[in-house]
Chains A and B, each alone.
Chain A
């Protein structure tokens, strides 16, 4: 049975061409890019090439606006701490309730231990940012706004372009966590007011352990890691040359076919989504129906629990993920679904299918084939479900 991998927002398969491009930088061209000899200078050229490929993918004006990091988390940490350190007269951060933990946990820490005031802007039931609350939170003390380009759980896209303009009106820097957006939506940074952008290589078929932070030229910056002069002194540490080369190759390949790929992926996603919603019933798609990543579909199935669904899917070789509490080790459903006020009847049964350009029609068929029976099977077992499907049974617990 061929496995069906629909968890591409978690990570993607590294393209074979990317692996191939990386190998020589382990075996032959192993030099340190900072060295004067040929071993080093060859590597230096490859890194420049990779930087330019990424520059093209995100539409940066200059290639030196890109700082390679160890991944999205480091990029986010760098961006937030740099903005605070470089603007000591401002000590407030504006972010949203649905950001990735790489932003939210850091904000919690900064608030608790470093005297930073954090405004967390709520979202509506489709996961769209409350613009009025956003405007109201901006002020003369705002050092940085950090809002994600696209949500990892629902795919909902924030209008970062306009949000950045509003941040600048308040004199604040604007950072976006674009880890899920890069490679899935067209990005042209030079035509926006965005000051900083985080991205991660393994979300678009590059290697893990590598990311980048875009910092617009002229933005005041303070490095997170100090040491050597790599990345123009903005991120010390010997460059991870094989991974950077891999990221460059992945960026190049993504760029070459993105428009076609995304049209195809959207069609596949829509077929999957409509097929499931029609076949299953008592379920709904979460997120902004009008402005969502083309590859992401999170469907909340009522009256059943997500981990049970995933285990049964896995048994049939289908990989997806869940916003349910039980898979994450926490006891409550995902903060994103809670922020969107998805009712508990459904939040526990939310399943995320995330596609990639390697997803095929056959994959979608397999899921359409498997899911309805799995949902039926679990609902048959659920005390909240009645067979006729009309209304859930009354359930009257003695303790609760």
Chain B
């Protein structure tokens, strides 16, 4: 587990200003579910004085993301918009007595949310164009040039590893390695020219051996001329896995159904599958029944413990798969209220 400072732990276990702020007049949102962290910063700014009177946050993320958000709200409350915009991710990290290097991106997320909130207050529209600040560099975590340049300058970053720690850029598939190196070299060169960085510290493009981007996962092989696995007339039907007996229930489809069943025959086949799977539902204290069947839609009713149970969806998925295997075509199983 990470070595968090007492301050980080305190702000994680007892977050300040968590929750929604109903009368917020400046809101900044960064991150996304797919990225693994996201922050919505809500500020209530006094229109006369531009003082931030209240600040609240909602955060999806790990312990240090929540702690950084909490710290951010504490830092901005009482400051004017002008003062607040001068805050950097370093201020957030220092407020928490430091963050593990791999977690610095949490503090950067705080700063980015603040920038967005200040922009919103000023009426600068960032939302029309997601990538107003230059090209998108890292597609895995949606990091653009502007964010990387800010993080590099604020934190004097001089290696790709550090850039990844602070922005997450390059932490996924690594296919952006080359543009990332170019950008870091450019920004470092500019920093040297401005006297912010010593020439020998600057990152030079091509200095580090660039590993090849990870290969795409070998999903779906190009199948050479192989004979069909089973005598399966319906090509879309997955061949049944008749290798070891499944624990429960007994496999339904011994072989893919021949195509050309009548709807009535199909209905009988479906009813049989449901009968065979009923013990699974009953074991959970519920029951399942076939209500109707038409085309690709199988309507079932769930009763007892199954209705409204989260697990039911999963079990229905299993049912759907079995029916699809039996019919040799795809169907959708939907739970309905019994009429």
Q: Taking beta carbons and an 8 Å cutoff, which residues of A are in contact with B? A: 97, 118-120, 122, 125, 131-133, 135-137, 139, 159, 161-163, 165-166, 274, 277-278, 281-285, 289-291, 303-308, 310-312, 314-315, 324-327, 329-333, 339, 344-345, 348, 380-384, 395-400
The reply to whether A136 and B223 form a contact with Cβ atoms under 8 Å apart is yes
Given the known interface contacts A136-B221, A315-B13, A383-B60, the answer about A399 and B116 at a Cβ–Cβ threshold of 8 Å is yes
Interface of chain B residues 215 through 230 with chain A (CB within 8 A)? 217-221, 223-224, 226, 229
Are A291 and B29 in touch, CB under 8 angstroms?
Answer: no
- Residue pairs across A and B with Cβ atoms less than 8 A apart, 5 shown, are A119-B218, A120-B218, A159-B241, A159-B244, A384-B38
* Nearest CB in chain A: distance from B149 CB, A: 13
Instruction: Quote the shortest CB–CB distance from B338 to chain A (angstroms).
Output: 22
Contact A395 to B218, CB < 8 A, known contacts A332-B140, A380-B19, A381-B58: no
A166 / chain B contacts, CB cutoff of 8 Å: 243
CB of A149 to closest CB in B, whole Å? 12
Q: Which of the residues B127, B130, B221, B310 comes within 8 Å of A133, measured between beta carbons?
A: B221
Residue pair A399, B36 in contact (C-beta under 8 Å): no
* B15:A399 contact, CB within 8 angstroms: no
Across the interface, do A122 and B29 meet the contact criterion of CB distance under 8 Å? no
Min CB distance, A319 to chain B, in Å? Answer: 10
CB nearest to A312 among chain B residues:
B13
B328 near A: Cβ within 8 Å? no
Supposing A308-B61, A308-B63, A381-B15 touch, asked if A291 and B246 sit within 8 A by C-beta, the answer is yes
Indicate which residue in B103, B130, B220 contacts A399 across the interface (CB closer than 8 Å). Answer: B130
Given A132-B239, A381-B59, A384-B33, A291 contacting B247 (CB threshold 8 A): yes
Whether A305 touches B62, Cβ cut-off 8 Å, given contacts A122-B220, A136-B223, A161-B243, is yes
Given contacts A381-B66, A383-B29, A397-B29, contact A290 B246 (CB under 8 A): yes
Q: Which residue of B lies closest to A281 (CB)?
A: B310
From B32, B62, B119, B172, A324 is in contact (CB under 8 Å) with B62
Contact B63 A311 (CB under 8 A): yes
Bin the interface of chain B by size: 35 or more
Partner of B62 from the list A131, A283, A326, A395 (CB cut-off 8 Å) is A326
> Which single residue of chain A is at the shortest CB-CB distance from B169?
A331
A333 CA / B34 CA spacing, docked (Å): 10
- Tell whether, in the assembled complex, residue A398 and residue B29 are in contact, meaning their CB atoms are under 8 Å apart: yes
Chain A residue contacts of B140, Cβ below 8 A: 331-332
Q: Is the CB of B142 within 8 A of A326?
A: no
Once the chains bind, are B314 and A285 in contact (CB under 8 Å)? yes
- With both beta carbons as reference points, the residue of chain A lying nearest to B127 in the complex is identified as A398
**A382 engages B31 (CB within 8 Å):** no
| Docked complex Cα distance between A326 and B64 (Å) | 10
Contacts of A397 in B (CB 8 A): 29-32, 38, 116
Q: Say yes or no: B171 contacts A332, CB within 8 Å.
A: yes
A325-B126 Cα distance, complex, nearest whole Å: 29
Q: For the complex formed, measure the closest distance between the CB of B105 and the CB atoms of chain A, giving whole angstroms.
A: 8
B208: Cβ under 8 A from any A Cβ: no
- Check A331–B244 contact: CB distance below 8 A: no
Q: How far is the CA of A118 from the CA of B102 in the complex (A)?
A: 31
Closest A residue, CB atoms, query B28: A398
In the complex the two chains form, what is the Cα distance from A299 to B13 in whole Å?
23
Known A97-B217, A135-B229, A281-B310: A398·B34 in contact at CB below 8 Å: no
What is the minimal beta-carbon distance from A12 to any residue of chain B, in angstroms? 19
Report yes or no: B34 in contact with A303, Cβ–Cβ below 8 A: no
Give 11 A-B pairs besides A118-B218, A290-B318, A324-B36 with Cβ atoms closer than 8 angstroms.
A289-B315, A291-B247, A305-B61, A307-B62, A327-B1, A332-B140, A348-B60, A380-B18, A382-B59, A398-B28, A399-B144
Chain A's nearest CB lies how many Å from the CB of B54?
17
- Does any Cβ of A come within 8 Å of B203's Cβ? no
B158 within 8 Å of A (CB atoms) = no
Whole-angstrom distance between the Cβ of A179 and the nearest chain B Cβ: 20
Q: A131 contacts B243, CB within 8 Å?
A: yes
**Could you tell me which residues of chain B, from 1 to 25, have a CB within 8 Å of some CB in chain A?**
1, 12-13, 15, 18-19
Q: How far is the CB of A342 from chain B (nearest CB, A)?
A: 12
Docked Cα-Cα span, A257 to B15, in Å, equals: 47
Assess whether A400 is in contact with B60, with CB atoms less than 8 Å apart.
no
Supposing A135-B226, A289-B318, A380-B18 touch, asked if A278 and B112 sit within 8 A by C-beta, the answer is no
Contact B243 A329 (CB under 8 A): no
B121 contacts the other chain (CB 8 A): no
**Residue pair A277, B243 in contact (C-beta under 8 Å):** no
Across the A-B interface, give the 8 residue pairs with the lowest CB-CB distance, nearest first. Answer: A162-B243, A331-B171, A326-B62, A307-B62, A383-B58, A383-B40, A159-B244, A344-B34
Cβ of B55 under 8 Å from chain A: no
B309 at interface by CB-CB < 8 Å: yes
Determine the chain A residues whose CB is within 8 A of the CB of B297 once the complex forms.
none
Minimum C-beta distance from A81 to chain B (A): 21
Cβ proximity bits B141-161 to A, threshold 8 Å, 1 near / 0 not: 110100100000000000000
Q: Which residue of B lies closest to A283 (CB)?
A: B310
A384 contacts B60, CB within 8 Å? yes
How many angstroms between the C-alpha atoms of A183 and B89 in the bound complex?
Answer: 49
Identify which of B40, B127, B244 contacts A395 (C-beta below 8 A).
Answer: B40
Q: Are A400 and B142 in contact (CB under 8 A)?
A: yes
Residues of A near B313 (CB, < 8 A) are 284
* Chain A residue with the shortest CB-CB distance to B103: A326
For B19, the chain A residues whose CB sits under 8 A away are 380-381
B238 at interface by CB-CB < 8 Å: yes
Residues from chain A with Cβ under 8 Å of B141 in the complex: 331
Tell me the bound Cα distance from A393 to B70 in angstroms. 21
Contacts of A281 in B (CB 8 A): 310
